[in-house]
Amino acid sequence: MTCLFSDTLLFIYGGFNKNWYGIKEAMIVDLVSMEVKLKKSGRKRSGAGLALVGWQIYIFGGSKTAYKILKEYDKYDIRTNKWIGIAPLPFDSGSVAAEVYGNDILAAGTHLPGLYYYSVRKNTFSKIFDLPSLQKKNNCTLGKSMNIL
């Protein structure tokens, strides 16, 4: 999972190993110098949606293994190198798309019965509307133009 947080810096986190177990490594890659800096590890996770608001990377959903969906959601503070727990979505979701919307975040994905709005300031989720056929096996992508869903 990746999140570009400047013109030249990329945050990389998690993924699955060859046995389908989540990995927890986090790193920042300088795309100019190709220098890689390992950061404090988060939870073992893959398939999460990442969204950047300020200097915080919000992580929604994901799986610890191919069959174990995580209930814990987090944000990573780039400046302090700290992980902080945040409110979970009302439904567990192993594969989430997240997109910044103003100063907040939209989330949709597998097992979620709709499009959700996350208030960064309030640390709460609210359902915007139902989305058909995102249940079970489908994945979802949110695009910055909001024309892709």
In order of 12, 18, 77, the CA distances from 28 in angstroms are 6, 23, 12
Kindly list the structural domains of the chain, giving each domain's residue range(s) and its CATH number in brackets, ordered by start.
2-95 (2.40.10)
137: which 2 tokens?
């096996």
Cα 25 from Cα 32, distance rounded (Å): 21
| In contact, 99 and 105? CB cutoff 8 Å | yes
pLDDT recorded at residue 53: 96
Per-residue pLDDT of the chain (149 residues; tens, 9 = 90+): 898 989 999 999 988 888 888 888 999 999 999 999 999 888 888 888 899 999 999 998 888 887 788 878 899 999 999 999 999 877 777 788 899 999 999 988 877 778 889 999 999 999 998 877 555 554 555 555 444 44
In order of 49, 69, 94, 107, 110, the CA distances from 65 in angstroms are 16, 7, 10, 21, 15
